[in-house]
Structure 1
Amino acid sequence: MPHPQSKIHRVFELIEPIATTTFSQGPTEEFLALGMRNYWDGYFAGRAAPLGLAPAEVVDAVFYNFADGEVARHIPWVWGITTPQEAIAVRERGSAAALRQRIGNLANSPRVAHVADLATRAAVSAPIEGRALYAGLRALAVPRDPVARLWHAATLLREHRGDGHNIILAAHGIGGGESHVLMALTMGMRAEEFGRINHLPPARVVAVVDRLRARGLVDAEGWFTDAGRDLREKIESQTDELARPPYDVLSAGDLDELITGLESIAASL
């Protein structure tokens, strides 16, 4: 029997803070020490590195939701400062160190090693078709250190789900800008207030909202219609469904152990 979708979503909630440790101060400082100009240089160097020397257009397509020209301000500039191979090593080292610092004494416990093993077993088991970023990460060596292995597995699972999310968004005709508007409305704020798009020219944000309004997903005041809310819920449910394959390798007991172990780590995070 397939695992309940609620448990698949619960794992996502628990791995997210582990994987996104890579976007915290410690790893950022590692990239700045290489000669990166700012946080976003390090972000794109580290996250895009598994794609190799891919041009900005490819990174933009895989990442899906950045504004026009945003990726090109960093790719390929960062590859004049470092290489994808070095960026991968810096990202792993900085992320593992940051995660180790955040979970304290728990980092050396058998529990973390066991959770890392369970998460890794799931993370390396899914098909790669249509999952460009996940496939790039799958090609990397699995770290031996338990904390680094936990971060690596969480990142694999996060990007596998993210690739699937983009597939679902595209299938529903929701582009990157539209996805940010849906997220803003889900969080109870207007599109122009949302941090990922509030820096864009106001006319561009209005155009995105107008496209959603023309589809009946947003009302005259800029909030969800019932159809818009239903679509948002459908996208999330279908994303969870596409995130299921890595966990098929785990028994029901294994998945419960993974969730319990991740919850104890999340509590310390």
Structure 2
Amino acid sequence: MPHPIAKIHRMFELVEPIATVTFSDVPTKAFLALGMRNYWDGYFAGRAAPLGLASAEVVHAVFYNFADGEVARHIPWVWAKTTPQEAIAVRERGSATALRQRIGELADSPALARVAGLATRAALSAPTEGRVLYAGLRALDVPEEPVARLWHAATLLREHRGDGHNAALVAHGIGGTEAHVLMALSLGMRAEEFDRIHHLPKAQLAAVVDGLRGRGLVDAAGGFADAGRATRQRIDALTDELAAPPYDVLSADELDELIAGLEPIAAAVHAADD
């Protein structure tokens, strides 16, 4: 029997803070030491590396939600400073170090090794069809060290979900910048306040909002219309459904064990970041 969707969503909540330590100071500094100019150079080098020497157009398509031209400011420039293979190694080392720093004594507990094993089983079990970034990550070697192994598994699960989320957005006709606008509104923010898009030229962002308004998704005041809120809810529900396949390999008891084991780790990451 399929696992309850509530547990699939709970896995997203637990995996996200573990995987995203890769965007923190330690990995960023490691990329700067390679000659990257800024955070975003390191972001694109590390996250795009499993795709190999893909063009900016391909990375833009796979990452989905960056505005036109943003990827091209970094890809392929970063590949003059490092290689995808080196970027993968730097990202893994930096992320494992950052995770270890955040979770303290949990890093050396037998429980973490067990959780890393369960998470890895799930992370390596899903079909790759239509999951471009997930497929690229699946082709990489799995780290042996437990903390690095847990981060790697969390990243696989995160990007598997992300590939599915992009598919859900496509199915609902929502573009990348439009997705950020809907995210902002779901958080009770104006589009121009949201950190991922507030830097865009005002006219460009206004055009995106106007397009959503013309489709009945945004109201006259720039907030959620009922249809926009419903669309966002359908996208979130489909994303959860599409994120379920990795967990099919686990029994109900094993998934419960994985969730219980991840909870103190995710909580420690949150506490350290706060």
TM, length-normalised to structure 2 = 0.98
Question: Residue 82 of structure 1 aligns with which residue?
Answer: 82
Structure 1 gap segments, 5+ residues each: none
Aligned: 1:171 with 2:186: no
Two-structure CA RMSD over aligned residues (Å): 0.5
- Paired residues, what number? 269
- Aligned 1:18-57 pairs, distance under 5 A: 18-57=18-57
Structure 2 gap segments, 5+ residues each: 270-274
Distance in 2 (CA, whole Å) between partners of 1:196 and 1:264 is: 29
Question: Residue 255 of structure 1 aligns with which residue?
Answer: 255
For 1:196, what is the secondary structure of its paired residue? coil
**Percent identity over the alignment?**
78
Distance in 2 (CA, whole Å) between partners of 1:158 and 1:116 is: 15
1:225 deviates by 1.1
1:227 deviates by 1.0
Distance in 1 (CA, whole Å) between partners of 2:194 and 2:106 is: 35
AA aligned to 2:6 is: S
Q: Deviations over 1:179-216 (max 9, x none)?
A: 00000000101111111111111111111111111111
For 1:189, what is the secondary structure of its paired residue? coil
TM, length-normalised to structure 1 = 0.99
Question: Residue 244 of structure 1 aligns with which residue?
Answer: 244
Distance in 2 (CA, whole Å) between partners of 1:91 and 1:193 is: 30
Question: Residue 98 of structure 2 aligns with which residue?
Answer: 98
- Aligned 1:111-150 pairs, distance under 5 A: 111-150=111-150
Distance in 2 (CA, whole Å) between partners of 1:94 and 1:237 is: 33
Q: Deviations over 1:208-230 (max 9, x none)?
A: 11111111111000111111111
Distance in 2 (CA, whole Å) between partners of 1:11 and 1:142 is: 20
Distance in 2 (CA, whole Å) between partners of 1:35 and 1:71 is: 18
Question: Residue 264 of structure 2 aligns with which residue?
Answer: 264
Moved over 6 A (4+): none
- Aligned 1:182-261 pairs, distance under 5 A: 182-261=182-261
Q: Deviations over 1:41-98 (max 9, x none)?
A: 0000000000000000000000001011100000000000000000000000000011
AA aligned to 1:167 is: A
Question: Residue 15 of structure 2 aligns with which residue?
Answer: 15
Distance in 2 (CA, whole Å) between partners of 1:43 and 1:30 is: 11
Distance in 2 (CA, whole Å) between partners of 1:20 and 1:122 is: 18
Distance in 1 (CA, whole Å) between partners of 2:13 and 2:264 is: 13
For 1:119, what is the secondary structure of its paired residue? helix
